[in-house]
Structure 1
Amino acid sequence: MTDTSISLTKHGGKLTEASRRHGIERCNWLDLSTGINPWPYPMAPIDARSCQALPDHDQGLHAAAVRYYLGKSATPDSKRPLTLLNIPGSQWAIEALPQCFASGSVALPDTGYREHEWRWQQAGHQTLFYDADRPDKAMQHIFSANTLRAVIVVNPNNPGGQHVPPRTLRQLAGALKEKGTVLIVDEAFADATPEKSLLPDIADNIIVLRSFGKFFGLAGLRLGAVVGASQSETLQRLSSMQGPWRVTSPAQLAGMEALSDHHWQKVMRAKLQRASQQQGQWLEKRLGAHGDITRRRQSALFNGFDMTLARARQWHEALSQQAVLTRLWVVDEQCAILRFGLHDERIQTTRHLEQAMSAAGRVMEKRS
């Protein structure tokens, strides 16, 4: 467990930057650098008139979100009343939550979405790290921290794909409660496997973050949710930081529609699982032909491959030369994860990836 210096987080999806660097027009790229569903929800068109007035569909969106995330668990007569906040993307909560705690330490996975690390460091907290592959074994060492304010679990992990069972997380929350520590679970990729979510059964010291844009494929709308016990001081502080009109009219309308479309959700979950499995096997065969893979990591929205940092950089650059943008995730000085988001089923998309992998493979052979 060590401190790290504050450094800006790098993200996927920067097509304009990639286009400028490689001299390839933006429209010609295949962007596999994000974990966003390539088959977006077919939301009703948003016209100028619907955006003319200030957002006023808060109650409708809230009702749809409560049904989608909580069912009947947020009703006043439930044993543990829950509160749900609709927010402009789970990123907003990641940025705001560190400000809800007095200065102290926070435990994070050693491999995980780095905005958590960056934002807690930026807010003046000490960062401690645990093994993302074995959080249940590592937590006992973290408990010795006297000023442990929060433990962050990205579940399923991004980019690692690891999943911690809900039962394990509830046990962890119970142990943390004795220290006055909050368990924050980032479930940005949980919509494809809702049966593995902590919701709706969460303890008083658990905060759950959910993202709308990834599963529904509408990341540009900026919509998400935060769920916690109604009496949670952390959630109350977070709620007080929200200004008026925090969620735009297009996001409110799309959220109401998509969160209520249970048939589309069921069909899409099956489609994503099937597409991820097929893509992962296809990529594993082609990357493995060069002996570069040490491990394959999978979720419903991406496939990641462990390899040496040098080799991952070579693949990332060779594919970029073919207008395919992947996500290079540096683990340490020796190791990295090369992550591929899903792609749609259009013939030209499939052909683009096949040709790019073949060309990049020839480059790898020359460098071996």
Structure 2
Amino acid sequence: MPHPSLATRASLREVRYDIRGELSRRARELEAQGRHLVRLNIGNPGAFGFRAPPHLQAAVAAHVPQSDPYTHQQGLPLAREAVAEHHRRRGTPNASAERVFIGNGVSELIDIALRALLNPGEEVLLPSPDYPLWSAATLLNGGRPVYYPCRPENGFLPDPDEIEARLTACTRALVVINPNNPTGANYPPELLRRLAGIAARYGLLLMADEIYDGILFDGATFTPLAPLAGDTPCLSFGGLSKVWRACGWRVGWAVLSGDPLRIGDLHHAMDLLSAMRLCANVPAQFAVPAALSGPDTIAALTAPGGRLHASRRAVIEGCAASPHLQLVAPAGALYAFPRVVGPAAEEFDDQAFALELLESEDLLVVPGSGFNLPASRHFRVTLLPEAEVIGDVFARIHRVLERHALRARARHVA
């Protein structure tokens, strides 16, 4: 007698992660058929020929013999102290190793933090578009995402008044992703001060996703949130994945700052949850001091003449060359978020558009709706391929959008 299918957790039906979703599965099928795809869906530097800096590799290799035991649930003391010192230099209040958590990437730490914080039905303020892991982790930990818009006409920066209007008695946290994934927006200090002020007035936890803090273009500068927050509780997230191009090492950190009396319960809860997963992977934690005290290896890539700078320029030029695209030039991070405009945007379905790009042009992008952006006419591409590849990519995108525009014009004639 056949057994019924196992039921799965109901909240998973609300969770989406289109970055590695159905389109990615279809891409694997096409690659199995021998198709060569250009994958623009994931900010994965190692897949595009980038390497973690040699001094980080050497630090890990030198400490393999010391990596067999479990370490403290919050991370290696030397790694935590390096993160704390990094934050002290930034001006993070009360930064200390005791308030640092090392995780298997920032993704794990986001989940731990939200699990420690949320009771069923409590709300987290998230940007729209957001990095979808934030929405997923909120839902899976019993919370409810409440989105504040970040509109392209405002450079993808949020309006603090709109954020404040979305507050309820159930709001527990305000998430700030800066520099932003997927848009590349870089938040100015005055905006960050206003966001910190909202959190202070309403007793919210600030959650600052700053994993791209060193990836900036054309003179943009990064402002950390915790120093502006002062005594307001703030969790600042960073790691080795992007700035140091070590995604597969899975090393992230979270720094808890603010009034010690207000953060004590959250610290205890995060420590408990960290202990239950025993510890983060140990070998790569030995690279943290080398990363935070060693030479700057990202600036040469983002400065004029650098590979990332050239690729970003190719994206900007590719969008400018097409009458069907508009782009807010990314000031930071590893992505661009173009918008389809004009006749090509009529009756536009961003999922169908992404599938057409995949099937007809061998390009894998992420639809804007995958970042919790309703009625999206956007898509996300990564800046990681070589500039020459990106030039060809946007020629292919233009071909598909030209077909969309021709069909729209034909409908009007009919």
TM-score interval w.r.t. the shorter chain?
A: 0.7 to 0.9
Return the match for 1:189 from 198, 212, 235: 212
Shift of 1:85: 1.7
Q: Structure 2 stretches of 5 or more lacking a match? A: 1-10, 151-156, 407-414
What RMSD, in angstroms, separates the aligned Cα atoms of the two structures?
A: 3.5
- Tell me, yes or no, if structure 1 residue 262 matches structure 2 residue 262: no
Kindly indicate which of the two structures has a greater share of residues assigned to helix: 2
**Number of positions where the alignment pairs a residue of Structure 1 with one of Structure 2:** 355
Secondary structure of the residue aligned to 2:113 is helix
Return the match for 2:80 from 42, 54, 62: 62
Return the match for 1:294 from 314, 326, 348: 326
Taking a change above 3 Å as real, the CA distance of residues 359 and 166 of structure 1, as seen in their structure-2 partners, is: closer
Shift of 1:242: 0.7
Kept after mapping to 2: 8 A contact 1:209/1:227: yes
Taking a change above 3 Å as real, the CA distance of residues 28 and 289 of structure 1, as seen in their structure-2 partners, is: same
Kept after mapping to 2: 8 A contact 1:8/1:118: yes
Q: Counterparts of 1:144-155 in structure 2 under 5 Å?
A: 145-155=168-178
Instruction: Tell me the residue number matched to 1:141.
Output: 165
Kept after mapping to 1: 8 A contact 2:318/2:391: no
Q: Counterparts of 1:1-368 in structure 2 under 5 Å?
A: 7-12=14-19, 17-23=25-31, 28-37=36-45, 38=48, 39-42=50-53, 43-44=56-57, 50=65, 53-55=68-70, 58-71=76-89, 80-82=94-96, 83-101=99-117, 102-103=119-120, 104-132=122-150, 133-143=157-167, 145-193=168-216, 195-200=222-227, 202-204=229-231, 205-229=233-257, 231=260, 232-233=263-264, 234-243=266-275, 246-270=279-303, 275-298=307-330, 299-307=332-340, 308=345, 309-310=348-349, 313-314=352-353, 317-318=356-357, 321-330=360-369, 332=373, 334-345=375-386, 352-367=389-404, 368=406
Secondary structure of the residue aligned to 1:195 is coil
Kept after mapping to 2: 8 A contact 1:207/1:227: yes
Higher mean displacement: 89-98 or 261-270: 261-270
Kept after mapping to 1: 8 A contact 2:173/2:205: yes
Kept after mapping to 2: 8 A contact 1:316/1:328: no
Taking a change above 3 Å as real, the CA distance of residues 305 and 261 of structure 1, as seen in their structure-2 partners, is: same
- For residues 267 and 34 of structure 2, the distance between their equivalents in structure 1, rounded to whole angstroms, comes to 41
Shift of 1:113: 0.9
- State TM-score, norm by structure 1: 0.80
Kept after mapping to 2: 8 A contact 1:312/1:338: no
Shift of 1:202: 3.8
- For residues 19 and 246 of structure 2, the distance between their equivalents in structure 1, rounded to whole angstroms, comes to 15
Kept after mapping to 2: 8 A contact 1:319/1:357: no
- For residues 27 and 254 of structure 1, the distance between their equivalents in structure 2, rounded to whole angstroms, comes to 37
Kindly indicate which of the two structures has a greater share of residues assigned to strand: 1
Kept after mapping to 1: 8 A contact 2:76/2:282: no
Shift of 1:190: 1.7
Q: Summarize deviations over 1:91-148 as a string: whole Å, max 9, x none.
A: 11221222223342222112111221222122222332212233312123124x1122
Identity of aligned residues (%): 17
Taking a change above 3 Å as real, the CA distance of residues 328 and 177 of structure 1, as seen in their structure-2 partners, is: same
Secondary structure of the residue aligned to 2:356 is helix
Kept after mapping to 1: 8 A contact 2:335/2:380: yes
Q: Summarize deviations over 1:300-333 as a string: whole Å, max 9, x none.
A: 4222212244367436632565444323221655
Secondary structure of the residue aligned to 2:173 is strand
Secondary structure of the residue aligned to 2:290 is helix
Secondary structure of the residue aligned to 1:150 is strand
Taking a change above 3 Å as real, the CA distance of residues 267 and 239 of structure 1, as seen in their structure-2 partners, is: farther
Kept after mapping to 1: 8 A contact 2:70/2:278: yes
Kept after mapping to 1: 8 A contact 2:244/2:297: no
Taking a change above 3 Å as real, the CA distance of residues 333 and 99 of structure 1, as seen in their structure-2 partners, is: closer
Kept after mapping to 2: 8 A contact 1:182/1:206: yes
Higher mean displacement: 214-223 or 19-28: 19-28
Kept after mapping to 2: 8 A contact 1:106/1:120: yes
Q: Which runs of structure 1 show a deviation greater than 6 angstroms over 4 or more consecutive aligned residues?
A: none
- State TM-score, norm by structure 2: 0.72
Kept after mapping to 2: 8 A contact 1:159/1:337: no
Kept after mapping to 2: 8 A contact 1:173/1:182: no
Secondary structure of the residue aligned to 1:124 is coil
Instruction: Tell me the residue number matched to 2:153.
Output: none
Whichever residue aligns with residue 119 of structure 1, its letter is: A
- For residues 136 and 54 of structure 1, the distance between their equivalents in structure 2, rounded to whole angstroms, comes to 47
Taking a change above 3 Å as real, the CA distance of residues 124 and 169 of structure 1, as seen in their structure-2 partners, is: same
Taking a change above 3 Å as real, the CA distance of residues 278 and 125 of structure 1, as seen in their structure-2 partners, is: same
Kept after mapping to 1: 8 A contact 2:186/2:222: no
